[in-house]
Amino acid sequence: MIELDALTKRYGDQVVVDRLSLRVERGELVVLLGTSGCGKTTTLKMINRLVEPSDGRVLLDGADVGSLPQHELRRRIGYVFQKVGLFPHMTVFENISITPTLLDWSADRIRRRVDELLELVELDAAEMRDRRPDELSGGQQQRIGVARALAAEPTVMLLDEPFGALDPLTRDRLQQSFSRIRSQLGVTAVFVTHDLTEALLLGDRIVVMRDGHLVQEGTPHELMVNPVDEFVEQMIGTPKRQAQLVDDLLGRGTPA
């Protein structure tokens, strides 16, 4: 369980995240949704202390995240980065096994875990193990990124637009495998995206952010039915309009 309590980040005069409070229940996936620059990444990084909050607290299973040494905290939380984040000088095997290695797992256990994870993210272990990141497609890199975050069996996962840079087809496939993995593992997760479809598809609950504020919070259904203001309504409106447009095109374009 993750609790954000009036979490605030200021850079100089600029308030990037403003008194954000939020509760993520055990096993729940909460999506942080908002336009670019609204403070999603900053919020996520304050949870594992890659960014130190200016004010407020983060509690993990009731304990302040500040009470643990930073590196120990981070070894317990899987993090998938917005940009690459795979280490270019390490093989796929080495990238995935980093956190278990830092935790002094036995070589045998690590080897079994890596194979298991590669299977989980639907990659061929024998083929992938010794490749370097620059020998992988974007989709494969993101799968490895997810596998690396899951390597040390974390109970909490933070994902920062993990599928943002992928083509729609690959993104769709990855969203589905991730959805399956999550239900299989039951991790607690915070998932950042600016893509409403992705949010609706994956989120148990969605938190809409704007300019560092929490605008609305609710299940996908609540959000769709009951947008709190014009901003949210517009945001939800876009994919609705697009779906409508596609329907129209298909209807009209179908040969008789």
Partner 1 sequence: MSEQLALLPAYLTGHVQLTLVALLLGTAISVPLGIVATRVRWLEQVVLGVAGIIQTIPSLALLAIMVPLLAALQVQSIGYLPAIIGLTLYSTLPILRNTVIGIAGVDPAYTEAARGVGMTERQQLWRVELPLAMPVIVAGLRTSSVWVVGMATLSTPVGATSLGNYIFAGLQTRNYTAVMVGCVAAALLAQLLDGLVRALEQGVRLHRRAPVAAALSVLAALYLFAGVTLVRPLLAGDAARQVVVGSKGFTEQYILSEIVSGQVTAETGLGTTLIQSLGSTVAFDALRSGDLDVYVDYSGTIWATILRREATTENRSEVLGGVERELAADYGVHVVGALGFENTYALAMRSADVRALGLRRISDLIPHAARLVFGGDYEFFGRPEWVSLQERYGLAFAERRTMDPSLMYQAVAQGDVDVISAFSTDGRIAALDLTLLEDDRGAVPPYDAVLLVSDRLMREQPEVVTALQVLVGTIDADRMRAMNLSVDADGLTPRAVAEEFLAGR
Among 24, 32, 41, 143, binds Mg ion (CB under 5 A): 41
171 with 163: CB under 8 angstroms? yes
Binding site for partner 1 (CB under 8 A): 48, 50, 70-75, 79, 81, 83-89, 91, 98-99, 102-103, 148, 152
Decide if residue 39 touches ligand ADP (CB under 6 A): yes
Strands 29-33 and 188-193: parallel
Token digits of residue 53: 């909050």
Length of the chain counted residue by residue: 256
Report DSSP letters for 81-117, one per residue: -SS--S-TTS-HHHHHTHHHHHTT--HHHHHHHHHHH
Instruction: Quote the least distance from Cβ 254 to Mg ion, whole Å.
Output: 40
Decide if residue 11 touches ligand ADP (CB under 6 A): yes
Partner whose footprint covers residue 37, from ligand ADP, partner 1, Mg ion, none (CB < 5 to 8 Å by kind): ligand ADP
Chain centroid to CA 131 = 25
Three-state SS at 226: coil
Number of residues forming the site for Mg ion (CB under 5 A): 1
Q: Which stretch binds ligand ADP (CB under 6 A): 39-47, 122-130, 200-208, 221-229?
A: 39-47
CA atoms of 29 and 27, how far apart (whole Å): 7
Q: Which stretch binds ligand ADP (CB under 6 A): 32-40, 52-60, 178-186, 228-236?
A: 32-40
The radius of gyration of the chain from alpha carbons, rounded to an integer in Å, stands at: 19
Decide if residue 38 touches ligand ADP (CB under 6 A): yes
For residue 52, which of 63, 41, 66 has the smallest C-alpha distance? 66
Q: Which stretch binds ligand ADP (CB under 6 A): 23-31, 37-45, 99-107, 248-256?
A: 37-45
Residues contributing to the site for ligand ADP (CB under 6 A): 11, 16, 34, 36-42
Residues contributing to the site for Mg ion (CB under 5 A): 41
